[in-house]
Structure 1
């Protein structure tokens, strides 16, 4: 019975361990992609756009923007540029 409990605990703890390994940047990127897709954009365009924003702001910049809860003054312009570069022809 002891090994059965260990197996159950191991299976139950795997999702928790996987969540703990997700970086803050991964969470920001995932949230951006989900929000972008919910506005009707294809996933590939959303991934491309967050890549472009990450190129501009850097990893720590994106995390800082998320922590602050509001974007910098040039964010709308950068998002517009990124969306234009990522639009499918």
Structure 2
């Protein structure tokens, strides 16, 4: 394999890895930004978001984008933050 083939292979591999990497959506970015602004570290905020997302699932999380938080959100948030306290 010549040098150009190696370069092309490495470039394509890097693009595939970047395309498959987890990219935060707008809601996740906003949540983590607000969380870190309130004094928590990024790891704990990411953990909390993941726990909340796991609890509600994709469909319910989309409702948050429309400003519709479920009634149990404060309790779910508090529980999720407590579970992530060691992060």
**When the two structures are superposed, what TM-score results if normalisation uses the length of structure 1?**
0.67
TM-score relative to the length of structure 2: 0.68
2:26 alignment partner in structure 1? 27
- Structure 1 CA distance for aligned equivalents of residues 59 and 34 of structure 2: 20
Unaligned runs of 5+ in 1: 1-22
Aligned residues, how many? 65
Runs of 4+ in structure 1 over 2 Å off: none
Aligned Cα root-mean-square deviation (Å) = 1.8
The aligned counterpart of 2:70 is: 72
8 Å Cα contact 2:63/2:69 also seen in 1: no
Bigger share in helix: 1
Which 5+ residue runs of structure 2 have no aligned equivalent?
Answer: 1-22
